[in-house]
Amino acid sequence: MADDQKAQAEEKVEEAAEQVAEAAEEVKEAAEETKEAVEEVKEVVEEVKDTPKASKPVPANLEKISAPLSNSLKGIIEQIEKLSVLELADLVHALEDRFGVSASAPVAVAAGAAPAGNGEPVEEKTTFNVVLTAGGANKIAVIKAVRELVPTLGLKEAKDLVEAAPKPVLESVNKQTAEEAKMKLTAAGGTVELQ
């Protein structure tokens, strides 16, 4: 009888250990996703900081502005850390619209660009946005393709993106990546535009 109870207790301990290990793995994955999102926000913040402000003069008390973060700013940062990737992208776009700035890095024109008919150099586009204009008849296949292209999206977020078309799937990617994404989405039944 004691052996049976001991065996049951050991089995329960093993089950609990497995559950703890699974929970730890989930926490680790969530922490990695949060870390990636924070890194993206930091990059956007750095790009916004580097963007010159044309109409607003720099305050004389700049040293006071660089002081330690206030509690309200800490609260904002904590809220940003909790956002999904799609919500972060929407936030960046809203900030760009609100303050008239761009978070994308400026594209340099190649010095040896071929001149156009009027003698001016032509700027070749180097970054593209992959925009899903319609989900098509087979939305499930398109949702799967979207999740392959953007592995950080959950099923619900990918479904919402497809149903809300036209929506950007990838932004500021090189031509090869954009073409590959377009082929995948088109093969799945979606309608895609490169911008």
Q: What is the pLDDT of residues 16-64, one digit of tens each?
A: 778 877 877 887 787 777 778 778 777 777 776 666 555 445 455 444 4
pLDDT score at 109: 45
Helix (H/G/I), strand (E/B), else coil: 169: strand
Q: Long-range CB contacts (< 8 A, 24+ apart) of 134-138?
A: 134/165, 134/166, 134/190, 134/191, 135/162, 135/163, 135/165, 135/189, 135/190, 136/188, 136/189, 136/190, 136/191, 137/189, 138/188, 138/189
Mean pLDDT is lowest, of 70-74, 129-133, 156-160, 191-195, for: 70-74
Please give the residue that has the higher pLDDT: either 84 or 50: 84
**Inside any domain, residue 115:** no
**Inside any domain, residue 108:** no
**Inside any domain, residue 179:** yes
**Inside any domain, residue 47:** yes
What share of the chain has pLDDT > 90, as a percent?
0
CA–CA distance, 168 with 190 (Å, rounded to integer)? 13
Q: Same domain for 137 and 90?
A: no
Q: Same domain for 71 and 29?
A: yes
Q: Specify the number of domains making up the chain.
A: 2
pLDDT score at 87: 79
Q: What is the pTM of this model?
A: 0.37
Query: Which residues are bridge partners to 121 per DSSP?
Result: 115
**Inside any domain, residue 117:** no
**Inside any domain, residue 77:** yes
What share of the chain has pLDDT > 70, as a percent?
77
**Inside any domain, residue 11:** yes
Residue 108 has pLDDT above 50, yes or no: no
Q: What is the mean pLDDT of residues 135-139?
A: 81
pLDDT score at 50: 65
- To the nearest whole number, what is the mean pLDDT of the chain? 75
Q: Same domain for 88 and 168?
A: no
Q: Same domain for 6 and 95?
A: yes
pLDDT score at 80: 82
CA angle 160–165–171, rounded 5-degree value: 90
Can you give the residue range of the structural domain that contains 78? 2-51+65-99
CA–CA distance, 158 with 145 (Å, rounded to integer)? 9
Q: What is the mean pLDDT of residues 150-172?
A: 86
Q: Same domain for 36 and 74?
A: yes
**Inside any domain, residue 144:** yes
pLDDT score at 104: 57
Q: Same domain for 157 and 79?
A: no
pLDDT score at 35: 78
Q: Same domain for 148 and 187?
A: yes
Residue 124 has pLDDT above 80, yes or no: no
Residue 148 has pLDDT above 60, yes or no: yes
